[in-house]
């Protein structure tokens, strides 16, 4: 009998059981085996300070987005020295948006999304964007990739840039997203 004293008012616990008919045989099944997957990890970081360089450089001035309306799902990711570490294994979608600027003479600003499966002993180029600017102009790039994280200790990602002169770089801001990385877990590792 279902009454107001026995009804659930929130999502069932993983160990709560349901009764199902399996070809006419009544069986129990835990909620953990039938609940929907959904997104279990989602996080976003932004570059809080502009970075410039005339050589390949890893972006390191990251902060988790902290706007009043921001929220993350799950543990989220952590970042140290520009290396992003996942809070859980899984297949992730990475989107790296960058605002690039070339203050001096006309030249290029390239952005890269790199991944590793051995804690940055070796790196793979996951995605790359090439922007060519007139002096004093700003450009935008958006690159993305899927990343299969099967080990949170060794599988990591990082964002890089490369420019044609030292006055060029990637713009940051601590109050809104100019350059940012969004990370969403799509499902289990494959």
pTM, two decimals, is 0.82
The confidence score (pLDDT) of residue 150 equals 98
The number of angstroms, rounded, from the C-alpha of 114 to the middle of its chain's C-alpha atoms is: 12
Return d(Cα 160, Cα 157) in angstroms, integer: 10
pLDDT digits (tens, 9 = 90+) for 131-170: 887 877 888 999 999 999 999 999 999 999 999 888 889 9
Q: Facing residues of 45 across strands?
A: 64, 181
The number of angstroms, rounded, from the C-alpha of 190 to the middle of its chain's C-alpha atoms is: 18
Nearest to 154, CA basis, from 114, 118, 190: 118
More reliable by pLDDT, 165 or 179: 179
The number of angstroms, rounded, from the C-alpha of 70 to the middle of its chain's C-alpha atoms is: 14
Q: What is the mean pLDDT of residues 94-121?
A: 92
């Amino acid at each position: 009998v279902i009454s107001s004293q026995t009804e659930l008012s929130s999502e069932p616990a993983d160990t709560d059981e349901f009764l199902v008919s399996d070809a006419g045989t009544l069986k129990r099944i835990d909620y953990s085996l039938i609940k929907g997957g959904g997104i279990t990890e989602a996080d976003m970081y932004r570059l809080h300070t502009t970075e410039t360089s005339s050589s390949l450089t890893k972006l390191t001035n990251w902060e988790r987005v902290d706007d009043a309306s921001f929220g993350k799902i799950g543990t989220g990711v952590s970042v140290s020295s520009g290396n992003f570490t996942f809070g859980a294994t899984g297949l992730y979608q990475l989107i790296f948006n960058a605002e690039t600027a070339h203050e001096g003479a006309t030249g290029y600003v390239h952005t890269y999304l790199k991944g590793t499966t051995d804690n940055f002993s070796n790196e793979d180029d996951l995605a790359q964007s090439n922007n060519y600017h007139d002096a004093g102009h700003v450009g935008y790039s958006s690159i993305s990739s899927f990343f299969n994280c099967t080990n949170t200790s060794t599988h990591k990602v990082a964002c890089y840039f490369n420019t044609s002169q030292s006055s060029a770089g990637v713009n940051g801001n601590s109050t809104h997203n100019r350059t940012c990385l969004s990370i969403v877990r799509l499902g289990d590792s494959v």
